[in-house]
Amino acid sequence: MVAEVARKQHRFRGNGTARGVGMTRLQLKKFKFIFERILSDPDLEAECTGLEVFRLSGSRWYDEADKALVDDDERLAPLHEAHQTGEWTAPNSEGPVYFPTELEAVVAAVFTPPAGKPQLTRFQTRLNARLISARWEFEATHDQLTGLSDAVSFVRIARDAMRIGRSTEQSTTQSLMVIAVDVDHFKQINDSYGHAYGDVTLQCVADKLELIVSTLAEKRGLSYAVSRPGGEEFSVMFLGRLETKDEMLHIANSIRFEFDRTPTPSNDELTREYVLRQLAGVDAPLPEERKVTISLGVSSSPSVAWSTTDLDATIEALRVAADTALACAKAAGRNTVCHYDDILKRHGRVLEHHKDTGIVAIDLGSNVGTVPGMSFAVFHPDFVGGQPFTQTDGRTRRTLGVRPRIEMGRIRVVDVQPLVSFCRVETWPEPSREFPLGATLEALDLPDDEPGA
C-alpha cells in the first residue's frame, strides 16, 4: 500500500509547452513527402517566382531550405500570425506572402509583380488542394497511425529491390531476409493505460524500429523496408550480402536488444508536442513500466533461389515462413528470435502425451516441413542445456553449474496435419514413462529441401 501511494506518475496536459522535438522521424518523412510535391507543383510555380516552406518544430520555426531554425524577428512575426489566424499575411508589398497550411507549416511565396487579393486567394485555394492530394497520395501507400509503408507497398518495395538485386554483378551473393515483428503483451498496454497511450506506443515503436533498421542497413550496405501490416505487428525486409543464418540472427537480435534495453516511449518522446496533444489528461507509466519487448520471426532466401522465379510468390512464401517463425518465438516465451529453418531443430514442443495409447502430439505440422517417418529427440524443459543450476540455504542463492542437455527419449511421426503431428514413442522416458507438456524437440533426420531455406 505504501509503495502504491508513493508511486508517481506524470499526467499529461494538452496545453503544456513541448520540450522535445515536434515530429518523429516518420512524421517528418510524411511532411517532406507532401512538401516536395508542393515545391515541385507546376501550377503553383507558375503563380509565383519563389516558394519556401517553414515547419513548426515544438515552439520554434524551422527553415526547410536553410536547414536551420528561424531567429529573425521580421520573419517570425508573419509566420506566427499566419499559423495562428489561419489566413495569409503580407508584411509588405514587396516581400513574401505567408500562407498557412493544415499541417504544422507555413508556405512563403514571392510574387513579381506584387499580387492582388484575387491572385492570393486563388493561390491559397490551389495550395490547399495540392496539400490534400499530396496527403492522400502518401496515405494511400502508408499506414496512417505510424507513417510506415503499408503491406502492399512493402511487397512492391521488396519486389523492386529484388529486381535490382538480381540484375547486379553480385546477384549470386545476395539474400532476401524477412522479419515478422510483434509487440509483446500489447493488449495489456491497451487495457492498463488506454487506447490513446497504446496508439502513442505503436507510433514510438514504429519510429524506433525504422531508426534501428535503417542504421543496421546503412552499416552493412543493405537495402531495407519497414511496414506495419496492422495491429501490433510489423514487417522488416533486408536485401544484400547476408551470407549466413548466424549473421541474420545477429541482425534480428540487435533489433530485439535495442527495444529490451530502453523504455518505449522514451522520456524524450513523452515531451513531444504531438504526444502531449494525444495524451491530454492521461497518466503515463513510469520508465520501468514502459519497457516494451518484441518477438521476431525470421525467414530468408538466397538470390540463386529466386533469380528465375516469380518474385511475388517468393515474397509471400517468406512472409508466411516469417509469421510461422514468429509464432514459435512467442510460444518460446516472447522477447526472443526464431529463424524458420531452426523450428524443427529447436522450437518444437510436446502438446500432449496420451497415457492410454502412448501417442504424443507435437506442435510441428506440415507448415514447417514435418513429414511422416521423421524422428525427434525429446528433452525435458529443465534439461535443454544452459540453464543455471542453483541452490539456496534460505538466505542466499548460489549457482553451482549449468543443467546439461539430456535426452529423455525419442518419438517418430506417424500422422502429419498442417499445424500438429502425432507420433509413436520409439524410446520411452524413464522413470515416468511420460513426456511432460512443453518438452522440447530436436529433429534427427531433416528433409533435404527444408521450406524457407
Q: Residue 249 corresponds to which cell in the numbers above?
A: 540472427
- Together in a domain, 329 and 357: no
Q: How many structural domains compose the chain? A: 3
Distance CA 390, CA 445 (A): 34
- Together in a domain, 199 and 301: yes
- Together in a domain, 176 and 304: yes
Task: Choose one of 317, 335, 353: the last residue of a domain.
Answer: 335
- Together in a domain, 209 and 326: yes
- Per DSSP, the residues of 340-352 read GGGIIIIIEEEEE
- Together in a domain, 53 and 118: yes
Q: Is residue 53 included in any domain, yes or no?
A: yes
- Together in a domain, 264 and 315: yes
- Together in a domain, 130 and 241: no
Distance CA 269, CA 258 (A): 16
Predicted local confidence at residue 170, as pLDDT: 55
Q: Is residue 15 included in any domain, yes or no?
A: no
Q: Is residue 13 included in any domain, yes or no?
A: no
CATH number of the domain to which 240 belongs? 3.30.70.270
Predicted local confidence at residue 295, as pLDDT: 97
Q: Is residue 191 included in any domain, yes or no?
A: yes
Task: Choose one of 305, 335, 365: the last residue of a domain.
Answer: 335
Strands 294-302 and 337-339: parallel
Q: Is residue 6 included in any domain, yes or no?
A: no
Predicted local confidence at residue 169, as pLDDT: 55
CATH number of the domain to which 407 belongs? 2.40.10.410
- Together in a domain, 160 and 195: yes
Distance CA 233, CA 212 (A): 16
Q: Residue 250 corresponds to which cell in the numbers above?
A: 545477429
The closest alpha carbon to 100, from 87, 110, 109, 113, belongs to: 87
- Together in a domain, 170 and 296: yes
Task: Choose one of 100, 119, 139: the last residue of a domain.
Answer: 139
Q: Is residue 144 included in any domain, yes or no?
A: no
- Together in a domain, 186 and 241: yes
Domain limits at 394? Answer: 343-443
Q: Is residue 283 included in any domain, yes or no?
A: yes
Q: Is residue 302 included in any domain, yes or no?
A: yes
Distance CA 206, CA 188 (A): 18
What's this model's pTM, rounded to 2 decimal places?
A: 0.81
- Together in a domain, 313 and 192: yes
The closest alpha carbon to 227, from 283, 159, 158, 162, belongs to: 158
From first to last of the 453 residues of the chain, give the pLDDT tens digit.
323 322 334 333 333 333 334 677 788 888 889 999 999 999 999 999 999 999 988 788 999 888 889 998 888 999 999 999 999 999 887 889 999 998 889 999 999 999 999 999 999 999 999 999 999 999 898 998 999 999 888 888 888 887 776 666 555 667 889 999 999 999 999 998 888 999 999 999 999 999 999 999 999 999 999 999 999 999 999 998 888 899 999 999 999 999 999 999 988 888 777 777 788 777 778 888 888 999 999 999 887 556 656 788 888 899 999 999 999 999 888 999 999 999 999 899 999 999 889 999 999 999 999 999 999 999 999 998 888 999 988 888 899 999 999 999 999 999 999 999 999 999 988 777 889 999 999 999 765 544 444
- Together in a domain, 208 and 122: no
Predicted local confidence at residue 453, as pLDDT: 43
